[in-house]
Structures are given as structure tokens and as C-alpha cells.
Amino acid sequence: MATTVNIVCKRTVVSTKAIEPGKYLPLSVLDRFMEKNHIRMVYYYQTSGELELGKLTKKLRETLSEMLTHFPIVTGRLLRDDMGHWKIKCNDAGVRTLEAKAKGSVEEWLRNVDREKELELVYWEDMLEKPYYWSTFYVQLTEFEEGGLAIGLSCTHLLADPICATRFMKAWADISLGNKITSPPIFHPLPPQRSQNKKPNNNSNPYMGLISHYKSIIEKPIFVKEAKYTTISMGFSHHMVQACMSMAQFIGSSSPSPTPFDALAGLFWVTLSKIKGIKNGFVDMSICLDVRKILGLDQGFFGNSMLYNKVHLEENLNLDLTENKFPQATRAIRDVVAKIDNDEIMDLIEWLENNDVNSSKMMNVHDLIITSLEDVDPYLAMFQDMFKPIRFSCYIEPVFGEGHVLILPNPLDEGPLGRVVMVTLEEEDAIKLCEDDFILLFSPTILMKCVK
Amino acid sequence: MPSIMPNSSNSSKNKYLKLFYQYFVNHIITLTILTIMICFLIELLRLGPIEILNIFNSLKFDQIQILCSCFLIIFISTIYFMLKPNTIYLVDYACFKPPITCRVPFATFMEHSRLILKNNPKSVEFQMRILERSGLGEETCLPPAIHYIPPNPTMEEARREAELVIFSSMDSLFTKTGLKPKDIDILIVNCSLFSPTPSLSAMVINKYKLRSNIKSFNLSGMGCSAGLISIDLARDLLQVYPNSNAVVVSTEIITPNYYQGKERAMLLPNCLFRMGGAAILLSNKKAEHKRAKYRLIQVVRTHKGGDDKAYRCVYEEEDREGKVGISLQKDLMAIAGEALKSNITTIGPLVLPASEQLLFLLTLIGKKIFNPKWKPYIPDFKQAFEHFCIHAGGRAVIDELQKNLQLSSEHVEASRMTLHRFGNTSSSSLWYELNYIESKGRMKRGDRVWQIAFGSGFKCNSAVWKCNRSIDTPVDGPWEDCIDRYPVHIPEIVKL
């Protein structure tokens, strides 16, 4: 079934209340580091059929307008401050919104979707030369002629990480239902370094995991591969994830069982290393985690708070035994996750600030990156006249290097352990991944496959 | 313009002298009659009652003479009442409140301008300078079709805007006045730049299923002063048709007239014109005198079209690329000043109190006879009116009129705040301004209002209303949710 997306119109949606002029919001060091990346998300909905689609889009725009009153950072524009750092001028310019139509119904679409098609549902424009006139957020509302709606949200990583973006959608959904926003956004700088706990000499801390990782990213030259990337999406049921978690443990081990993230990340790390032909050891990999809880930030904090950290394997591992590989990988991942603490993050932030990091580096260009979005519940974004989203996809672009694995919650499942994994890889690797025995052991449902 | 007479009101002695003079001249007729009556009474008292009776008997009144005198009095009274023009009541009016989603903040306007005119940075700079000094606020609204990138000014969208604006205003009017569509006898719609077939008045008749013998009129091309021209037309019609209701709809449809080229003289309207409309119910029914808000006292129309420069100063034409826009000449303010002087000269004698007119006459005579160097006296229009509604055509227009008529900032507050909140809504701006004054609780019974509008042609039209009953706040209207925030201070230049 041929499905095409036609853009009907493009406009700017502004908030309903005028903003006091002269407000500025600074961007934190973590925000500025993510300058070259952007996020694209798609939410799919089945419509109740009561309202004609044209009216539904109009109502959505109206509620978007109302919601934007709470997000002055989103309707503002980028400016450089005296030190050359990015900040946002809250000038009430608004969010670019596009409306589009697609043939067929949303279910048909989902059966045949692939990366290229899905990205047509979420508009994005790279930063203009003069970013003061460039919208940092884009919303695309695509109506399916035979039923259904897709809401595409894209934004620059400078302002938000995927968690903020999902909170943005949730706020919009809350307003559309006529409720107050459950966790209203708060814009403040990251918590400052607590001086009393400051170690006398930074260098005395031998494990500078975060700082050394960020340092290596900054120092490594960017080498962009000329390859075609594609994305596949797999759903793992509750039971399968449980099975995966038990397999990820060393037999007879008394250590606590791995989390679903640890297990699935380990699974993909091992499999992808095999696919890429790495015999001894694994492919270079970093994980990306949300550290809001560690930093003690409240629910409504709007800004980047996801950190990357490299996962190393211990020396002298016995990797000849293939059945050891998976548990080893999982354990290494778990160790890194457990090690990240408040002090280390504060040190990183301080280091980044002191070294006046030139943020022209890109994430996702070297290692395989495995991101955890488990704390996010995109399926809470229920709009009026539409039910729960039937599918949610997220892309953190651009992806070069070894690839990107995103682990998301799976709603269409009985248990809390179900997960959806979105993997962006070079095309050949992706094809091999779909056919890999180890992965197939866990009977994933292929939600989005690559087009051959 | 010349300044006031040397008789400045600095010293209170001068002030009292002036007040005494004004009271004396304004009430001269009353004072004269009073004096005569007092003299007569004194004479009567002097004569004594018997003497009065004697005089009365000697007059030898005849039965027929008495009867003829009575008939004469009755005859003259009847002729007087028949020839007296019908009183025109403004029962109520409703202004269109644009939906908040149509709001256009400065930043959005400039961004769109930059995206659409990306090859003409000078034109964009020009628009920014205009917007900074325009006196508009961040809540003015443009129709949905103009929000698109690029704008989509099709006829269908223009009709949609017309339906949105006109039908909301009419619905609001029906609710406020309890008027039934079938009771509308006269319908006048004025919209200068959008004139489809069937006309907008036919569109209204179709929507509300008005009577087949309705007298409908559609005025197009008459510019921002068309609102008062419609009122004038309604007044004339209400003299001919007794016991009738007239509905006047004043609006300007922005969608088809958004200039998409780069000529600077034509980009100005894009920056200032915004969505707006008003529906007014006028009536000559005697029963309305209880609930009507205003009575129409005067309408004065002045047309300077005979002068070529005035005719050409607001001109719709195609630019070099064939794009249609309205070009405004640089001498616009000067021509407006001339038109205003002309209008004031006509309206002055009709509304100014006798004291001001006498002063003006005396200074005129004095200038001719004694000393040509005497500055001509500018009558103080604040004596004639309590409220002023100056068409919010732009900040320059309001500034100019404030200077020329020597008005205080409170007098022009309604105009400035309307420009800030709603932008230049063309012919309907006078009604937003009137609503502002009402919403502030300043409109009391007996207050006189002067509405002045300028428009292409070049025309200057005025209407004078007298408030029929005090209007209590809160007033149901477009200012309902924001009147408490006003007046705001509008900076000379807003930094964008």
C-alpha cells in the first residue's frame, strides 16, 4: 500500500499569554555540550472517530497554544551571551507547526513503516546561519485519511533531552484534557557544587570515569562514515526480558539480578560486537543514562540531564567461553551504572565549566551508544478524543559511528518488564541483527524493519 | 498649527474670568429671557392686580380670535414635530474579539517576514523599524491565512475570515440587544478591500435568513472612514423609513490584502492592519429611547478628493513585480491635517458652545481689521465633548491630532490603547475605542462623544453622539478580560 505524507501547511503557533519582554534563560554546560544533536519523536494515536480530523488538528493547535504559556524556553530563540555561550531570549516567537495528510490508516502505516517513512512524520530543520530566527522545536500533526493521527515532535538537544521532550508532550496532553500540568516545567541552572564536600584535589580521585570519557569525546576528531543508516525496532515481552535477565547472570551467582536495562544492553552489546566481527572483546560502547534522581532534580526540571559514560571491560577476562560473554557484558554495564554518583557528576560539570568546552562536538559519532529511556512513560500522553498512544518512536540524531540503541518501555504488554528497543545501525549490520540467533532466542516482535 | 491666545490660564484670576465669560455667553439666551421675565414680573407687581385686570379687559378678545390663535399654535407645533428629523438611537453595538490563537507577537511577525522576504533584508529592516515605533502591542491578531509560511491569501480564506468576523459580531449583537434577525429592516456592510460576489451583505442575509424586503447596502473601497459613512447612510435611511431597525457592520478583511512584495511604501499596512470588526444596531423607534446607549447628534463628512495630491496619497496599485498593495505617500500626515481642518471648520459651529464661537469670530475679525499678526484662535473642543475617539490609524495620526486639538493624554487614551491591544482595525477601530471608554466606566449620561476617522480619498468624517444613559461596568465586550491591565505605558521605541 503506497503511503505518502503531504505537507498541507506550515505556520508558527504562539502561546496564549504575552511574555514580559527582557527575559533570558541560560543554558547549562550539559545543554551546550549537546549542541550538534537533535531529537525526533513520533507518537501514534488512534482517533475515536467522533471529531472530523480537521477539527481535531485545530483543537490540538489551540491546546498547544495554551500549553506553550508554561514553556517560555520553547517559544524563545537562541542567542549568544557575552562569553559566547548559548542562551535563550524569551521573545515569544513560537513553535513551528506543520500539518500533513497521509493516505491509509494508522494501523496500515505501522505495519509497513521504516525509518525513512517514519522520519517524514516529524519535520526538522537544521540550525540556520542566524539562529535567532530559527525555531528550536517543531511539531508536525499528520492526519491519516482513514483514521488515526501522528504527532511528530523534534527539537534541538541544546534545550531538552528525550525525557524533557516527553514531559512536554505530557503537558500538552494534560492541557487538552482540561487539567493542570502534572509536573509544571521549571527552568533553573543545574545545582551548584556544594563547596563543603569538595575534595581538596580533584586529581586524587583515581576513577574519573565521566570526565575522562567526555575529555576523549572532545579530543577525538570526528570521522563521519559515508554509510547508510537504518533503524529497526523490536519489542520484547515481559517474560522474554525476564528470561534475558536470568541468562545474563553468572550461573550460581549470588549478586543481585541485573535490571532489564543491564540485561538488554548486554544482549545487544554482545550481539552487535559479534555482527561487526569483533572476536576478542566487544565493540567500543558508552551508555547514556538519566541522572535526574542522582542530582536530586525535581520532576519538572527542563534541561539536559542525561550523561554518557564509557563501559570498559575488566582486564584479563576469560572471554573464550562464549557463555561468559553475556554475563560479563551485563556485569560491566551494571558496574558503570552503579558507580555514577552525585559527586562525580558535579565534578564533571565543574570540569566542563572550567575548561570552557567548545561544544562543537557531536555525540553518537564513535562508540555504540546504548541509551536508557526507561524512566520515561510516553504512553501517559493521552489527548482528548484520542486514546493512549499506540506506538512511540524516538530518534537521537544524527547517528554515525557504531550505532545507537535506545531502550524504551513497552506498553502493549502485561508486565512491567516489557521493553521496546530501537536500534540505528548501518544497513548491513541491521539486516544481520534481525537474523541473529541470539536475539531471536528472545522472540522479539519486529515493530519496524529495515527496507531491503 | 498656531498656538493658543495670549490669555493663558496660569493665574486663577484669568481662569475665573474665562469661566464667567463662558457661562455668560453660553447661556445668553436663557439669561436674556430670564431678565425679560423678571422685568415683566416687576412691572406686573408694580401695577397691582386691579390694573392688570383692566388692561386685560381692554384688549377685547374675541372668541374667534382666541380660537384662531389656538389653532395657529397647534398648527405650528404639528409642523414642527413633523419636520423634526427622527432621533437616531444607537441601541447597542458588538465588537469582534479575535481568538487568542490568532495572536501575532512581534518576534513571530519579524520571523515570518524574514522567512518570506529572505532576499530583501532592507525591506525586513524597514518593517522592523515600523513595528518598533508603531504603538502596537503583542496581542494584536492576524487572520489564520496570514499565519502560514508563506501566507495563503486565497478567496476561500478571505471568505472564511469574513464569516468568522462578521458572524461573531452579529451573534454577539443579537445576544446583547435581543434583536431578532427578522426585525432588521436596513443592513449596511462596509468592508473596503474585500468585495466578492455575492456581496458580504448578501452573505449576512443568507446566514441569518433575513427578510426578503430588507434594504441592504454594501460599501466597498471607501477606506478606514467607511464606518462613519455607513452610519451617515443609515441615518438618512432612518429618516425615510419610520419605525425601523438598521444594522451596520464595519470591518476590514485582511486576508486578501496582505502585501507580498518588497516595496517599502506598501509594506506599511502589513505592519499595522489587524483583524477586527463591529456590528452596530441603530433605530428610530421611539420605544428604544429607554435602553439605547447613544443618540446621534451630527455626522459631518469632508472629502478632499478634489485635490490631486489628496486623492493619490493612499493608493492601491501594482508594484514593479505585479504584486498589489496599498502605497502610502510621504505627505499623508500633512494631507490628514488639512482634511481635519476642513472638517473642524464645518463641525465647529454645529457643536461648539457660543462662547468659543464668539471668541473665534472676534479673533478672526481682529486679525482682518487690526493686526494680521494675531494668531488665529483654535477653539477648545474639550468644551464641546467629554470623550474623543480618534481612529487608531497609526501612532502618528493620534500624535498629530492630539497636538492639533490640544488634547490631554487621557482624551487620546482610548485611541492609543486600542492601537496597542487590537492594532489598526480600520473602520471598526472607533467602536473598540468607544468600548474602552465604557469599560473604564467613564461614560455618563449626557456625555458627548466625537468620533473622527480618516480614510483614503482623502476623507475626514466625524460623528457626534450623546450618551443616553450612564453605562455601568463591567461592560460585555472585547476589553472584558484585559481592561484592568490598561492603560499601559507605550514606549517610543520597542526594542526588537
Cβ distance A91 to B114 less than 8 Å, yes or no, reads no
Confidence of residue A323 (pLDDT cuts 50, 70, 90): low
Q: What does the pLDDT average to over A292-311?
A: 85
**Residue B6 pLDDT > 70:** no
Burial degree of A26 (CB within 10 A; 0-12, 13-18, 19+): middle
* Angstrom distance (rounded) from CA B357 to CA B377: 10
Asked if the C-beta of A61 comes within 8 angstroms of chain B's C-beta atoms, the answer is: yes
Which residues of B carry out catalysis? 224, 303, 387, 391, 420, 424
**pLDDT tens readout for residues B441-496:** 999 999 999 999 999 989 999 999 999 999 998 889 999 999 999 999 998 888 87
CA distance, residue A235 to nearest chain B CA (Å): 39
**Residue A154 pLDDT > 90:** yes
**Residue B219 pLDDT > 90:** yes
Q: Which of A67-71, A420-424, B26-30, B171-175 has the highest mean pLDDT?
A: B171-175
Number of other CB atoms surrounding residue A82 within 10 Å: 6
Closest CA to A69 of A181, A154, A160, A190: A181
Confidence of residue B206 (pLDDT cuts 50, 70, 90): very high
Q: What does the pLDDT average to over B91-95?
A: 96
**pLDDT tens readout for residues A18-29:** 888 888 998 888
* Angstrom distance (rounded) from CA B390 to CA B400: 11
- Which residues touch B393 (CB under 8 Å, ≥6 apart)? B224, B272, B424, B429, B454
**pLDDT, position A204:** 41
**pLDDT, position A379:** 85
**pLDDT, position A193:** 61
**pLDDT tens readout for residues B396-440:** 899 989 998 889 999 999 999 999 999 999 999 999 999 999 999
Contacts of A21 in chain B (CB under 8 A): 494-495
- Beta-strand relationship, A285-290 and A368-372: parallel
Contacts of A14 in chain B (CB under 8 A): 103-105, 108
Rounded to 10°, the helix B12-26/B28-47 angle is: 70
Least confident span in A89-93, A280-284, B81-85? A280-284
**pLDDT, position A199:** 47
Instruction: Say what the ipTM of the complex is.
Output: 0.86
**pLDDT, position B245:** 95
Tell me which chain A residue has its CA closest to the CA of residue B496: A91
Sign of dihedral through CA atoms A14, A19, A21, A23?
Answer: negative
Beta strands in B16-174 (DSSP E): 89-95
* Angstrom distance (rounded) from CA B88 to CA B92: 12
**SS3 per residue for chain A:** CCCCEEEEEEEEECCCCCCCCCCEEECCHHHHHCCCCEEEEEEEECECCCCCHHHHHHHHHHHHHHHHCCCHHHHCEEEECCCCCEEEECCCCCEEEEEEEECCCHHHHHHHCCHHHHHCCCCCCCCCCCHHHCCCEEEEEEEECCCCEEEEEEEECCCCCHHHHHHHHHHHHHHHCCCCCCCCCECCCCCCCCHHHCCCCHHHCCCCHHHHHHHHHHHCCCCCCCCCEEEEEEEECHHHHHHHHHHCCCCCCCCCCCCHHHHHHHHHHHHHHHHCCCCCCCCCEEEEEECHHHHCCCCCECCCCEEEEECCCCCCCCCCCHHHHHHHHHHHHHHHHHHCCHHHHHHHHHHHHHCCCCCCCCCCCCCEEEEECCCCCHHHCCCCCECCCCEEEEEEECCCCCEEEEEEECCCCCCCCCEEEEEEEEHHHHHHHHCCHHHHCCCCEEEECCCC
Tell me which chain A residue has its CA closest to the CA of residue B107: A93
**Residue A151 pLDDT > 50:** yes
Cβ distance A133 to B101 less than 8 Å, yes or no, reads no
Confidence of residue B190 (pLDDT cuts 50, 70, 90): very high
**pLDDT, position A202:** 46
Asked if the C-beta of A94 comes within 8 angstroms of chain B's C-beta atoms, the answer is: yes
Helix (H) or strand (E) holding B389: strand B387-390
Q: What angle do CA B114, B117, B121 make, to 5 degrees?
A: 75
* Angstrom distance (rounded) from CA B97 to CA A425: 53
Q: What does the pLDDT average to over A214-241?
A: 81
Cβ distance A12 to B108 less than 8 Å, yes or no, reads yes
Whole-number average pLDDT of chain A: 83
**Residue A197 pLDDT > 80:** no
Helix (H) or strand (E) holding B245: strand B245-252
Least confident span in A59-68, A126-135, A406-415, B475-484? A406-415
Closest CA to A212 of A282, A273, A286: A286
Are the C-beta atoms of residues B427 and B250 closer than 8 Å to each other? yes
